[in-house]
Structure 1
Amino acid sequence: MLYRFGVIPCLVITLAVSLTACGSGDNSPSASNSDNNATSSAAHPAPFKVGVATSDAALPPAPQLPTDAQVCSTLEASNSLVRQPSGALGPEADNGTTSAILNPDQARIQAALDACGAAVDAQVSAAISAADAAAAAAQKAAAKPNINIAGASAQQLAAPQYRASQFAVRLVVSSTGAGNSFITGPLTLPSGVTLWIDTGVTVYATRDVMAYAPNPAGPYCANTAVSSTKAGSSGNCLPLIGGSYLVNSAVVGGGSIDSRAASEIVSSNSLYPLMRVDLSCTNTYTAYAQGLQATTGTPCDNGGNFVNTSASSRHMTWWDLAWLGNMIENGTTGVGSQSNFRMMVFNYAKNLTLFGITMNNSANFHVVPSGVDGLTVWNVKVQTPSLSASANPAGNGNPNYLGMVPTIDTAKNTDAFDPGSASKAAVQALTIGSTKTSTAGKISFDGYLKNTVFAYNYISTGDDDIAIKGSANPSPAGSGLFGIDGNRDVATDRKYGFVIAHNHIYAGHGVSVGSETNAGVTNIQVYDNSFDGSEQALRIKSDWARGGIVTNINYNDICIRDSGQALLFTPYYSTKALPNPTSPLYPDFHDITLSNVHIIGTTSAIFEGFQANTGGIAHAALPLGMTLTNVLADSPSNVAVTASDANLTLNNVNLPIFPSNANRVVLTGAASQSLSTAKAVDCSSAYVDFPGIGDSSPSGQTWAGSQ
């Protein structure tokens, strides 16, 4: 049922607040407004001011760049590669058909990473292995319950004795000319190594598909289908930066990474099948695997129509494939999905850090970390699409194959961060290079996502901004443990084990839990974040093909402006087919808290639990359980609320939420349109221009950015 308050104007009170201690104390969800506003009076504490915190005692210390003495090697950019003000490369930078032109820097960057990884291994891997074995023996002797695998924690291995004296590969601008860019194919990040992309440097992904699909027998990259019945998959492509079985690895610096997903895909192998914008293809995978060229008229096997050996239409871009596979083919054939490379994929790590870098225009998800203990994403900027997506001469400034220029709507499946657990525990040797592993001994990785921090980031993308994936549960059978639990093995240098705080979020789908929640998600803290123009802001989403328990998710001190859906909590996210038609995976969302949420502009909110007997399979209702405290809209009459199967507790809420027997909505407390917004969280400094990247922002800068 859809509700709106009437048009009776509500009372709005604006408070002028001067804060001398913003961000210097505990900005945690449990901190009171008076704790965060030192100048407030005890009788009338000023509302918390979102977006101004510079420190947070609840978080671990901020990451730091390496020192010059900690650098293994320094690589200078070629003077032939110069980034333009738009963020694009020059028009002749990689026009050609050979890997030497299309992918000039992958080999030398990887060689430097491998050499640094070998040196780090020689210095510290034996100590790491010994510490891991000792910790495992101690945990076994203590008979610690509900542990799937023993081993040293990320916090223990962060100590100096487990870090090499030199561990960073630094990419810098040319010292002899204007060069400030690198073009590379997939890189393997070794254990213990930091890739340092210096300020002023841009690392561009090669447009050469051969870099992402090196095996002639497959799996095949850059398609929407790999057969008439099998869809494409991002797993068919190597990521631009990847790594597994890592300890103390990082990607840092003031520079940027641009995957150029709006640029035309090319190939250094003329036989590799590519799809054109007219939906013809250049070859078939069947012929390619045999070293042959299929004749004109042969049906394509990559999602296109027919081979045309003489067509002049340009090749598709990565985002063309994403749109075709997801928005068109999937709806007609049911098997469409793009095979696009992801920017970063990391599996099984202890202490993985992303710090200071800017990421643009990923062909698929930007960062996918799974099974990481000690994941830190701090002061990172993600903007997709950036201005370079439409200005890039390598794409000839063309719109996509449907005639649309790149926008947040056409940059499909470009999630910024998709953190999750791994599917199982692992005992593996550390990766020390692209082809080598350590001989010092194997390390235990329990597969959980633990001690995770997203802080002080700026995120704008075409899909989820941060999406917590509770799809995998590496816990012992029958233990009852959640796939993602923010209270699991919390390090002593922080208050919470999973925090999303002090971030500015723009375009995209905001902070999400799901869609995959089948392994369970619990104990997540989301506080002091702003959402400006996001399609959604706060949401928990799942369905009965991927559902599970989501509980103890706490949102506090949130500003939301001009969002399509400010709040979205639904177990009906899709109609995805059940993996077992008689055994649905029921979404169960309860003990969710929304506190101090300030909503500005026209928007909507959805509060839905799972109805009994939905879909004709007998089961009990799973109502949404949520408490809303001090959740206020400047214009409550401009907020449309849909609610069903929900048990909601309301305290100082002016959204139009009403009890309903028909829709099974039970309220404790009541909403009131006439409530004053004097207690609303302070959003006066919450909204800022996307910072620090000059003309590369497609929306440009405004006076707000100079304040």
Structure 2
Amino acid sequence: MTDRLRYWGLLSIAASMTLCPAALAKDRRIVTEPVAPHDVCARPVPSRKNDTSTLQDAIDHCPAGAAVYLAKGGFLSGPLEMKSGVMLWIEGGATLFAIPEPTAYDTGLGYCGRIGGKGDGCRPLISFSKTRGGGIYGGGIIDGQGGAPMVGSTETWWQLARRAQNEGGNQNIPRLIQIDHAQDITFHGITLRNAANFHVAMNRVEGATFWGVTIDAPADARNTDGIDPGASQDVTITHSFIRTGDDNVAIKAGNNGSTRHISIIDNYFGWGHGMSIGSEVNSGVSDILVHGLTLDGTTSGLRIKSDVSRGGLVERVTYENVCLRGNRWPIVFDTRYDPHAQGDSIPTYRQIVLRHVRGDKGALMMRGLDQKHTLEVTLDDVRFADSATWQIENTNVILGRSGVSPSLPGRAAGPLPSGLEECAKAFRSR
């Protein structure tokens, strides 16, 4: 782990115990820092071979409210299924490694580790399916080994993903953690790294907290999203460090349901594709708060992306106290993410507010679909370098009292408030 990651871990420990006041947060729960479990039901010892059956047996026999505790050492495992109320506690100095063996994750059709017409041929390393309570705690590591050669091959999971992109087709690669039809799931202090595919994917989750989590993957590792809340509600991601080869966080809402009441508070994003909403927003995304976010070197910064093949209503999204540096596209609100897409699922973005946002150079894009389907965006105290360029099309921009710089085409910048040094301090402290 780099010195910067260690430092960020210290910041997480020292963070305040309670989040912003309820009036600020969009997550409707009162979220406080999770507490480590008091009871330990099992203390498995690594075998240096395959620990899957030992770990699964410990989880299966652990009572709700207790934890399976992994002390120092390296554990090697294939897919694990979590149980309601049971916690996996990985102590500092312990690492759970994912076995890079496609047959271990295969869903039964023999597709895992191959390129095919579909990409759902692998089970995840850790699954929370129809569970309530429980989660993953501790200062240890879960390593997906995305860069390790697959058993029986010289190719890694990441190389397979890149080959699928170049040759066409879908890679069948396991996600690190899948949370599906679950409630009240908690992650605290854990490091997730080198996932073969998404690090954390969520579907129909009601109540989830990610506090002091570190997610780390190479910038060129394809489809290694950090945390993707989909069809979910009442989710908080806070005091976390995320850098990946794809979206740092991506809020999605495909045909399986809407996503709403999400709080992204006091986080640091390194390389990756930024703080994203979309591209699937068919069922609607609403009531999102992004507060106290630093985006350092992400290709995109604040991004809402969709098109007519998967569009829908995105509304009541607030970004405030955001620092951006070294981003190619610091702001991208785009309804034509795939310019060749066809369909009648119109992307509509409204009640989007940017307040106290600071950045340097880059392209600032806001592009509505057409004059009948314009974007509605409010900018209040939004400041970028003079070299930054606005690209605005089919967008109704409302300027707040403190204005915007550089000025919008044909509009005045507004007064320059004090406090511009605060964003630079956020970068210097990392």
What TM-score, normalized by structure 1, do the two folds share? 0.56
Query: What does 1:56-67 align with in structure 2 at a 5 Å threshold?
Result: 59-67=30-38
Task: Tell me by how many angstroms 1:232 deviates.
Answer: 3.9
What is the CA–CA distance in structure 2 between the aligned matches of 1:260 and 1:186, rounded to whole Å? 14
**3-state SS, counterpart of residue 150 of structure 2:** coil
The reply on whether 1:605 has 2:364 as its aligned counterpart is yes
What is the CA–CA distance in structure 1 between the aligned matches of 2:276 and 2:424, rounded to whole Å? 25
What is the CA–CA distance in structure 2 between the aligned matches of 1:628 and 1:562, rounded to whole Å? 21
**3-state SS, counterpart of residue 60 of structure 2:** helix
**3-state SS, counterpart of residue 207 of structure 1:** coil
Question: Which of 322, 330, 345 does residue 161 from structure 2 map onto?
Answer: 322
**3-state SS, counterpart of residue 574 of structure 1:** coil
Letter in 1 for 2:406: L
Total equivalences in the alignment: 412
Q: Match of 1:414?
A: 224
Query: What does 1:37-436 align with in structure 2 at a 5 Å threshold?
Result: 59-67=30-38, 70-78=39-47, 80=48, 101=49, 104-116=50-62, 119-120=63-64, 164=65, 167-173=66-72, 180-213=73-106, 215=108, 218-225=109-116, 231-233=117-119, 235-267=120-152, 315-326=154-165, 328-330=166-168, 336-385=169-218, 408-409=219-220, 411-421=221-231
| Structure 2 gap ranges (5+) | 1-14
Letter in 2 for 1:412: R
* Alignment check: 8 A CA contact 1:504 1:687 kept: no
Superposed CA deviations along residues 379-406 of structure 1, whole A, max 9, x for unmatched, are 1000102xxxxxxxxxxxxxxxxxxxxx
What is the CA–CA distance in structure 1 between the aligned matches of 2:235 and 2:322, rounded to whole Å? 20
Q: Match of 1:484?
A: 259
What is the CA–CA distance in structure 1 between the aligned matches of 2:17 and 2:381, rounded to whole Å? 23
> Between Structure 1 and Structure 2, which shows a larger proportion of strand residues?
2
Query: What does 1:484-503 align with in structure 2 at a 5 Å threshold?
Result: 484-486=259-261, 498-503=262-267
Task: Tell me by how many angstroms 1:561 deviates.
Answer: 1.2
Question: What fraction of aligned residue pairs are identical, expressed as a percent?
Answer: 32
* Alignment check: 8 A CA contact 1:223 1:232 kept: no
* Alignment check: 8 A CA contact 1:550 1:589 kept: yes
What is the CA–CA distance in structure 2 between the aligned matches of 1:200 and 1:373, rounded to whole Å? 32
Q: Match of 2:373?
A: 622
Question: RMSD between aligned alpha carbons?
Answer: 2.3
Superposed CA deviations along residues 404-430 of structure 1, whole A, max 9, x for unmatched, are xxxx12x01110111111xxxxxxxxx
Q: Match of 1:643?
A: 392
Task: Tell me by how many angstroms 1:25 deviates.
Answer: 8.8
Task: Tell me by how many angstroms 1:369 deviates.
Answer: 1.3
What is the CA–CA distance in structure 1 between the aligned matches of 2:145 and 2:339, rounded to whole Å? 32
What is the CA–CA distance in structure 2 between the aligned matches of 1:113 and 1:467, rounded to whole Å? 30
Superposed CA deviations along residues 468-491 of structure 1, whole A, max 9, x for unmatched, are 1011355xxxxxxxx1232xxxxx
What is the CA–CA distance in structure 2 between the aligned matches of 1:338 and 1:604, rounded to whole Å? 32
Shift of the 340–575 alpha-carbon distance from structure 1 to 2, 3 Å rule, reads farther
Q: Match of 1:699?
A: none
What is the CA–CA distance in structure 2 between the aligned matches of 1:250 and 1:29, rounded to whole Å? 24
What is the CA–CA distance in structure 2 between the aligned matches of 1:354 and 1:236, rounded to whole Å? 26
The reply on whether 1:590 has 2:350 as its aligned counterpart is yes
**3-state SS, counterpart of residue 602 of structure 1:** coil
Task: Tell me by how many angstroms 1:219 deviates.
Answer: 4.7
Letter in 1 for 2:157: W
What is the CA–CA distance in structure 2 between the aligned matches of 1:188 and 1:451, rounded to whole Å? 23
What is the CA–CA distance in structure 1 between the aligned matches of 2:115 and 2:187, rounded to whole Å? 31
Shift of the 25–115 alpha-carbon distance from structure 1 to 2, 3 Å rule, reads closer
Superposed CA deviations along residues 574-627 of structure 1, whole A, max 9, x for unmatched, are 14643xxxx51010111100000011x321110111115xxxxxxxx2101000
Q: Between Structure 1 and Structure 2, whose CA radius of gyration is higher?
A: 1
Shift of the 169–194 alpha-carbon distance from structure 1 to 2, 3 Å rule, reads same
What is the CA–CA distance in structure 2 between the aligned matches of 1:527 and 1:351, rounded to whole Å? 22
**3-state SS, counterpart of residue 171 of structure 2:** coil
| Structure 1 gap ranges (5+) | 1-21, 32-55, 81-100, 121-163, 174-179, 226-230, 268-313, 331-335, 386-407, 422-448, 475-482, 487-497, 613-620, 660-669, 689-703
Letter in 2 for 1:678: S
Shift of the 682–319 alpha-carbon distance from structure 1 to 2, 3 Å rule, reads same
* Alignment check: 8 A CA contact 1:626 1:649 kept: yes
* Alignment check: 8 A CA contact 1:77 1:172 kept: no
Task: Tell me by how many angstroms 1:564 deviates.
Answer: 1.4
**3-state SS, counterpart of residue 59 of structure 2:** helix
What is the CA–CA distance in structure 1 between the aligned matches of 2:407 and 2:242, rounded to whole Å? 30
Q: Match of 2:5?
A: none
The reply on whether 1:504 has 2:268 as its aligned counterpart is yes
What is the CA–CA distance in structure 2 between the aligned matches of 1:628 and 1:252, rounded to whole Å? 39
